[in-house]
Amino acid sequence: MKVTNKIFNFFTFLMAIVPAVALISIFAFVFQESLPLWKFSGFSFFTTYLWNPGFQYQPPHLVHGVLAPQGAQFGLDLFLLGTLSTSALAILIAFPISFLITLNVELYLPSKIKKIMVSMIELFAGIPSVVYGLWGIIVLEPILFRSVEPWMAQHLSFIPGFKGEIYSGAGLIASGIILSFMIIPIVTSVIVNSFDTVPKEVKEGLFSLGATKWEVGKYLTTRYSRASTVGGTLLGLGRALGETMAVLMVSGAIVNTLPTSFYSATNTMAAAITSLLDSALTDSTRMDLAALAALAIVLMVISLGVSIVGRKIAGRGALRGYESD
Amino acid sequence: MKVTDSYAESGHEIQWKNLGSRKIKDKIAYGLSYVVLGIMVVILVSIFIYILDSGASHITLNMLITPGNTATGGVLNAIVGTWELVGMGLLFSLPPSILGALYVVNGRSNGTLSMAARLFTDVLTSVPSIVIGFFAFIVLVQRLNMGYSLIAGGIALSVMMLPYLMRIIEISFRNIPKEQIENAYALGADDIRVASRIYLPQAKVGMFSGILLAVSIAAGETAQLLYSAGWNNNYATGFLHSGVGYLTYVVWNGINYPTTYSHYLAYVSAMLLILSVTGLIALSKYIGRGK
């Protein structure tokens, strides 16, 4: 082989590992930035929900060998709770909808309209996150605040968590709904794709045995291609966990106050990093920044973990590259 | 996927009794699925109509031809900045995507290494956008002292675009008939020649469609850019140490700013975003149809 060819091949190899280098350096640099926080807070970072940057106008003091503002205290519980609850709600809403949409486009709709419908559902993924946030603030929050949440508080108050004061539409419910719109295209598209790869004989066999369309659909999604269904849902969950802007805009972005009901304002790890980074820059000890870096590391570990498991279960190529996650 | 699995093997037996109730169940599922699909389509269409309508009813010519600060003036600096950033992101992500994809599809590459490269590419797509933004801030903006700038924002965007592009380009390379590539090698062509005469020209359409898709995703991003591109009330004056405006920032900041005009700017920016993003997606699908 000629030398130029060898150089060319080596160069393509270097370029192929760029994503790996990017991923590892993101993790390494953000982790390094978070180191002072682990010394300062230790395990208490996971056991408190209070997030207090401390007094910026008093001299910083040494804690466990690192400089921190006086009175500073950092805990991720509130944000973790918000991230998990908004994502869980999003999945609860998105999964049945995606399931029914799959059944509909695969079994009930004429195949000509099917393509249009799938493209339409995929368009949900194309809407930028801030546009969802804008729509959430202007349209969704007032509807929740004026009609839906008062109705729920009045009629469903016997269920724990449904009783409480309604402050504004922003919070868990608004975030869950917006997130579900963002992940429905992902979940639907994975299930639809796996449905399309089911051999014709299996489907025809089921019908010839006398199964109804509902039974065929239920069997194929929950049994035959269960892996894609579970994997697709996890991929959607991974997206929801890391989603930033839309949730930041409709969650209420609360700090230091635990939610008391489903109507309370909430906050997520991703949204907190975005909204607190500006003020963290005023901390001359960089402890506040380290705390946000620690938040970023935890968020990254959780969402990458979920996405990797989802991808592994669903199989490579579950997503055709269009549905961002 | 296993093909051996069959309905009977799964232990799921059809109950031949109660045919009536099974039919009713089917009817319920049928109705419910149409209702759900209908609701989702109505929501989607209403979001589009709402954003387009509120943008179109507040747009003025002045907004489109003057720069502004999200509260006064226009959004021209944001429009220009968005495409500058996306272009910069493409500049940083396209060459490695093409060459990396060539490595992954090359049969002579080390199998384990190319599998690992693909795995990392897949995992990189799942990194939350704000984590990329945070990384860009602490490393590019602060340590490398780039300041809020076009380069920092472009790199932050390229980290997100890179895995998409690499995956889409890899798929379009794999769609090329294998015989053609084998023939070229059999005739004595080396890897450079196969890449430049077969892979690139043959995958042109698929690659272009993928680029449009990556651009459409990048144009709608916010979280990476907030702390890497920053913001600029005017046009960026250079590649470094000069913040850049972008449309998503106007939406975010404008709607949180308590004046009517800033809300109008947010609506208009949202309209421009949704038009360009869906336009690009549609174009990409049209170009890549049948692929």
DSSP letters along A100-168, please? Answer: HHHHIIIIIS-HHHHHHHHHHHHHHHHS-HHHHHHHIIIIIHHHIIIIIHHHHHHHSTTSTTS-S----
- pLDDT at position A168 is 84
Average pLDDT rounded to a whole number, residues A251-257: 87
- pLDDT at position B6 is 47
Query: How long a stretch of residues is chain B?
Result: 291
**pLDDT tens-digit profile of A108-118?**
888 888 888 88
Lowest average pLDDT, out of A139-153, A183-197, B4-18, B248-262, goes to B4-18
Which chain B residue's Cα is nearest to A238? B126
Query: How long a stretch of residues is chain A?
Result: 325
**Pick from B22, B32, B251: which is nearest to A131 by CB?**
B251
- pLDDT at position B291 is 52
Which chain A residue's Cα is nearest to B191? A5
Share of chain A above pLDDT 90, in %: 33
Verify whether the Cβ–Cβ distance A128 to B222 is below 8 Å. Answer: yes
- pLDDT at position A209 is 84
Which chain B residue's Cα is nearest to A123? B278
Lowest average pLDDT, out of A78-92, A212-226, B200-214, goes to A212-226
Share of chain A above pLDDT 70, in %: 97
**pLDDT tens-digit profile of B117-136?**
888 888 898 899 999 999 99
Q: Give the burial string for B266-290 (b: 16+ CB within 10 Å, else e).
A: bbbbbbbbbebbbebbebbbebbee
- pLDDT at position A120 is 84
Verify whether the Cβ–Cβ distance B164 to A321 is below 8 Å. Answer: yes
- pLDDT at position A151 is 87
Going residue by residue through chain B (291 aa), what tens digit of pLDDT does each one get? 334 444 445 555 555 556 778 888 888 888 888 999 999 999 999 999 999 999 999 998 988 888 888 888 889 999 999 999 999 999 999 999 999 999 888 867 677 888 888 888 888 988 999 999 999 999 999 999 998 999 999 999 999 999 989 988 988 898 888 888 888 888 888 888 888 888 888 888 989 988 998 999 999 999 999 999 988 888 888 888 888 999 999 999 999 888 999 999 999 999 999 999 999 988 988 888 765
Give SS3 for B129: helix
Give SS3 for B68: strand
In chain B, what residues touch A242 (CB-CB under 8 Å)?
Answer: 126-131
Rounded to a whole number of angstroms, the CA Rg of chain B reads 24
ipTM of the complex: 0.91
**Pick from A8, A18, A210: which is nearest to B100 by CB?**
A18
Q: How far apart are CA A317 and CA A160, in angstroms?
A: 42
- pLDDT at position B178 is 86
In three state form, how does the secondary structure of A65-102 look? CEEECECCEECCHHHHHHHHHHHHHHHHHHHHHHHHHH
Which chain B residue's Cα is nearest to A11? B99
Minimum distance, in Å, between the CA of residue A42 and any CA atom of chain B:
22
Q: Please tell me the pTM assigned to this model.
A: 0.90
Name the range with the highest mean pLDDT among A153-162, A197-206, A314-323, B204-213: B204-213
Q: How far apart are CA B19 and CA A121, in angstroms?
A: 34
Verify whether the Cβ–Cβ distance A133 to B30 is below 8 Å. Answer: no
Verify whether the Cβ–Cβ distance B267 to A134 is below 8 Å. Answer: yes
Q: Which of B217, B208, B218 is nearest to B291 (CA)?
A: B208
In chain A, what residues touch B210 (CB-CB under 8 Å)?
Answer: 321
Verify whether the Cβ–Cβ distance A241 to B133 is below 8 Å. Answer: no
In chain A, what residues touch B138 (CB-CB under 8 Å)?
Answer: 29-30, 33, 289, 293
Only one residue has tokens 């506040």, namely A288
Verify whether the Cβ–Cβ distance A108 to B114 is below 8 Å. Answer: no
Cα torsion angle, A3, A4, A7, A8, sign = negative
**Pick from B122, B192, B213: which is nearest to A4 by CB?**
B192
